A and B are shown apart, each in its own frame.
Chain A
Amino acid sequence: MVSYRVIGQPTPRTDGTEKVTGAARYTADVQLPGTLRAKALRSPLPYARIIRIDTARARELPGVHAVLTGADVRGVLYGKSYRDATVLAQERVRFIGEQVAAVAAVDEETAQRAVDLIQVEYEELPAVLDPLGALREDAPILHPEMNSYAGLPRPLEKPSNAFSREVREKGDVETGFAQADLVVENTFTMARVHQGYLEPHSCLVWIDQQDRVQVWASNKAPHSLKQGLAVALGIPPEQVCVNPVVIGGDFGGKGAIWDEPLCYFLALRTGRPVKMVMDYAEELTAANPRHPAEVRVTTGVKRDGTIVTCDIEGYFNTGAYAAFVPLGFLPGPRHAVGPYRIPDARVRAYHVYTNKVPAGHMRGPGEPQAIFAMESHVDVIARTLGLDPAEVRLRNVIREGDANALGELYHDLHGAETIEAALEASGYHAPPPAPDGPVRYGRGVAIGERAPGGGQTHAAVTFRPDGSVVVHTSIFDQGSGTYTTIRQMAADVLGMSPERIDVEVWDTPETGFDSGAGASRNSRMASEAVHEAARAARGALFALAAELQGWPQDRIALEDTVLRRTDTGERAELSSLLARARAPVTGSADFDDTTHAHVTAFTVQVAEVAVDTETGQVRLLRFTSVHDAGRVLNPMGHEGQVRGGAMQGIGFGLMEELAIADGRVTTPSFADYKVPSMADIPQMQAIAIESDGGIGPFNIKGIGENPVSPAAPAIANAIEDAVGVRITDLPITAERVYRALRAKNP
């Protein structure tokens, strides 16, 4: 394999110390003189007409600077792609938790007291709470004016709650069914889950003396935020500056425009900076969780386990607004056909409005739902045919030269190899432990595949006069360790130790568009841009050495603090050379490729469970996560991504559910909303299989979203292996398993 110097070395995080000591500055920590705090009044009803809002008493409360209602922000619509969200409710509220009015006051308590004084009269309307109900003929259309919203994925003949119907197709599924020995059909459901980042949504907006809109926000896509704000507010983008801050976790939940427009209008009204920080009850009831979904998988198979056709139909409950859905639809449902060589396939995904909290996405938009369905289904196929589930996967998985079920062609395919490695590492084929009283043991495997997304980013590498280096990036690291890998990349190219390299972040006016963290794209974008910028900077340095020392430019090497002439061995101190430079010694580069990468990465996970047949309780004993990784940039960071991602997948599988009854979230705290604690996480192995077939100068593959999705189906498959029941609904609670066992053995 290619040899690197710094790439591949376990490297602690550049931002680790400041985070654990509390020095890191998050949005809520940013203090500007005269800052007001804002709070919003939220709807108590899932669907209602607003008849009257009385803000008089709130306005009279000492310390209150402004009270806004929908009338003050009429006509302003925003969204990630499809722009259907309002700053404050206009005439109607469409979910419990929707912002109806907002107060800016001297402090948070005063703002909350003023909010409590606002009176709203509603006329309640019949709500639609589930997607199938929302699609009935007689269901109220929640957004009758939807064809007038910008960014609707495809115009509809007439308004419908199914605002997006995405169809992906290759061949003709009916042909496939005609050739099949057997048709297997299953329907799976997945719960709504929250990203569970530690830092809640927060923002600070200040209109400065030059009329620029200065924004600090817990947002990992600052350039999208800048453009989205400019469009929503009708101001030039260059008037908006999004300033770098530390972001306390994202997992897909921090890429949308959030309370920034509301704080802008409050700042405009009061002439003061306005800060808004959600509390966690607000986060759990009114942020943008992962879509709950119902996915039906129908496959035609041959007796030997070959899948010849696959038809997917998925309903995704978007809730009241689609502003937080990446493309106006989720790109992930296509993963429901799996990484398999299937001649005919079709995926139909419906995104449906209901009177529930608007959904966004979490770590793989639509993927965990799709992969839970298909990877559970593959085990059903195997068991129906009396075959080993791992063998069925090996039989169907795409190999070099194969297109996948939707006709997409990827290279450097290590699917079969990754499956074999996971079976080996997990002891999959060893006999499971013998039954122990009421406890039975089982193992399950599941696989996923994901290529990094494309995008745009910028980097510059500059030598400082003292011989140290600063790398500028337009990426805001949301916690995934990108700054650390950027430092490694620059060190590797320059031939310097990472300690001499600092990473600084450009605010938005200083660079062109950056796509932001997401789609597992950071390493791909950063490695291309930083590599090229570092090479350019090194070239500039060598040109300087050639000029000042008279050395031939192609006979120079940089060795940390010293330049060496390779043919004579002459040496020059880097700092003394730089002190004589008359112009900055720097190099910069842009990366601009918005297409999905054509190199993908496989994840294979194996769960070993103990199931208590008397109670239905599932204990996860061992978990193995194997990754076809290209070259690992930072083994510490890579393993952290794998463990954290797997943990989120395990939570999705076994315990997390943002429950809603009659439109109201009934899990408004972490006491009710169950995220796994460390004590729930079993012995875990994270294994990277490296290769030089990855993307770009450092042969990378993505890892951000990859470790999440196969966990839940691996667990469901292990449960069936242990006790012979198939759980099709997430989360797999003990009571669900108990009921399935009772149904099987009455």
Chain B
Amino acid sequence: MIPAAFDYERADNAEHALSLLAEHGDEAKLLAGGHSLIPLMKYRLAVPSVLIDIGRIGDLSYVNDGGDALHIGALTRHRDVETNELVRSEAPLLARATSSVGDPQVRHRGTIGGSLAHGDPASDLPSVLLAMRGSVIVTGPSGSRELAADEFFTGFLETAVGPDEMVTEIRIPKAPGAGWSFQKFNRRAQDWAIVGCSVLVDGDTCGVGLVNMDIRPVRASAVEAAVASGADAASAAESAAEGSDPTSDLNASAEYRQHLARVLTKRALEEAGKSSA
């Protein structure tokens, strides 16, 4: 339960963090809220030799109105996202999903950027990014680039963020009148989802993001296509597990997860249909 020895650097701002990353290279890990990284280090599943603490960079914590999209600083705590009026009115799906992350203590420490950069298929927020077709601003030595949600999650706990880059901002397209639903299936309250589902229905377009249905956060493309071609919720949801490859573990078998994906997607589509303006 004691992490391996590591050096600690505190970054004063994003440029400083990037220069520390350049200096330490692959040996370094960025520390934001610490709610994903520290447990891995305690079990020695992650053994970085340097931790670069970006948790005190104040100017990466914000929610701004960017016109068509909300611009959310990578170090904005879950609690600040969950309670932000702009998020609640323009992206209620994000507010709702964020309110189900961990418990209040976790939400006061954990950050939106840290959660997405961890790339965990069992996390709730990637499914929102996929369903709302958001993007991630990644900053490196040669400047910033914008990655669409579909490009961002590349593998098990892997993202398209390079070793010399960091996530600096999340962009969520506004969807004020859209129908939405967040479904989370737990073994107990306040826990990781066994399976989860984020749905956004905006006119003819529909986004469906799944939690814990593959080695990386995935979109239920077949469901989206079925909805676009006019299928009702029940028949569209039939294809929710299509192409998925969920794990079998202590909480659920893969087969049961696929069943849950279909049930939760159906419920999410129905609920989103009702809330659609």
Contact = CB atoms under 8 A, between A and B. Distances in A.
Interface in A658-713: 659, 666-667, 669, 671-672, 674, 676-677, 679-680
Contact of A674 (B2, B39, B185, B191): B191
Interface string B176-191: 0000000001011111
B260 interface: yes
A556 B12 CA distance: 77
B188 A677 contact: yes
A735 B188 contact: no
A738 B259 contact: yes
Contact of B187 (A109, A614, A733): A733
Contacts of A671: 39, 192
B250 A672 contact: yes
A672 B259 CA distance: 22
B6 interface: no
Contacts of A615: 185, 259-260, 263
B187 A674 contact: yes
B185 A677 contact: no
Contact of B256 (A112, A279, A659, A735): A735
Nearest to B103: A677
A178 interface: no
Contacts of A412: none
Interface string A496-519: 000000000000000000000000
Nearest to A672: B250
Interface in B245-266: 250-253, 256, 259-260, 263
B256 A677 contact: no
Contacts of B253: 735
A108 B252 CA distance: 37
Interface string A125-153: 00000000000000000000000000000
Interface string B220-252: 000000000000000000000000000000111
A735 B185 contact: no
A677 B187 contact: no
A112 B250 contact: no
Nearest to A437: B267
B188 A617 contact: no
B250 A655 contact: no
A227 to B, nearest CB: 33
Interface string A614-645: 11010000000000000000000000000000
Nearest to A615: B263
B256 A109 contact: no
B2 A676 contact: no
A615 B191 CA distance: 17
Nearest to B250: A659
Nearest to B195: A615
Contacts of A666: 250
Contacts of A676: 188
A739 B189 CA distance: 22
Contacts of A655: 187-188
A579 interface: no
Contacts of B188: 655, 674, 676-677, 679-680
A734 interface: yes
A418 B192 CA distance: 40
Interface of chain B, main secondary structure: loop
A672 B187 CA distance: 11
Contact of A109 (B2, B39, B43, B189): B2
Given A281-B1, A667-B250, A617 B256 contact: no
A387 B263 CA distance: 35
B260 A677 contact: no
Contacts of B43: 281, 669
B190 A677 contact: yes
A680 B186 CA distance: 11
Interface in B181-226: 185, 187-192
B2 A614 contact: no
Contacts of B252: 735
A103 to B, nearest CB: 14
A280 interface: yes
Contacts of B256: 735, 738-739
B259 A279 contact: no
A651 to B, nearest CB: 9
Interface string A57-72: 0000000000000000
Contacts of A680: 188-189
A108 B2 CA distance: 10
Contacts of B39: 669, 671
Contacts of A659: 250
Interface in B119-166: none
A738 B256 CA distance: 9
B185 to A, nearest CB: 7
A503 B191 CA distance: 41
Contact of A679 (B190, B250, B259, B263): B190
Interface in B1-59: 1-2, 39, 43
Contact of B1 (A280, A667, A672): A280
Interface in A722-742: 733-735, 738-739
Nearest to B259: A738
Contacts of B263: 614-615
A677 B189 contact: yes
Interface string A73-113: 00000000000000000000000000000000000110010
B33 to A, nearest CB: 16
B2 A734 contact: no
A657 B252 CA distance: 13
A607 to B, nearest CB: 16
A657 B187 CA distance: 12
A109 B2 CA distance: 8
A233 B223 CA distance: 69
A659 to B, nearest CB: 5
A671 to B, nearest CB: 7
B84 to A, nearest CB: 24
A718 to B, nearest CB: 18
Given A671-B39, A738-B259, A112 B2 contact: yes
A677 B186 CA distance: 12
Task: Pick from B187, B189, B191, B253 the residue with the most CB of A within 10 Å.
Answer: B187
A674 B256 CA distance: 19
B110 to A, nearest CB: 14
Contacts of B191: 674
A437 to B, nearest CB: 9
A666 B251 CA distance: 11
A462 to B, nearest CB: 45
Contacts of A279: 1
Nearest to A734: B187
A666 B250 CA distance: 8
B189 A679 contact: yes
A470 B263 CA distance: 64
B265 to A, nearest CB: 12
Task: Pick from B1, B2, B191 the residue with the most CB of A within 10 Å.
Answer: B1
B16 to A, nearest CB: 30
A669 to B, nearest CB: 8
Contacts of B185: 615, 617, 734
A679 B103 CA distance: 10
A666 B176 CA distance: 44
A108 B1 CA distance: 11
Given A677-B190, A735-B252, A739-B256, 17 more contacts: A281-B43, A614-B263, A615-B259, A615-B260, A615-B263, A659-B250, A674-B188, A676-B188, A677-B188, A679-B188, A679-B189, A679-B190, A680-B188, A680-B189, A734-B187, A735-B253, A738-B256
| The 8 A-B residue pairs with the shortest CB-CB distance in the complex, in nearest-first order | A679-B189, A279-B1, A735-B256, A614-B263, A680-B189, A680-B188, A677-B190, A674-B188
12 contacts: A112-B2, A614-B263, A617-B185, A657-B250, A659-B250, A669-B39, A669-B43, A679-B189, A733-B187, A733-B251, A734-B185, A735-B256
Interface of A: 108-109, 112, 279-281, 614-615, 617, 655, 657, 659, 666-667, 669, 671-672, 674, 676-677, 679-680, 733-735, 738-739
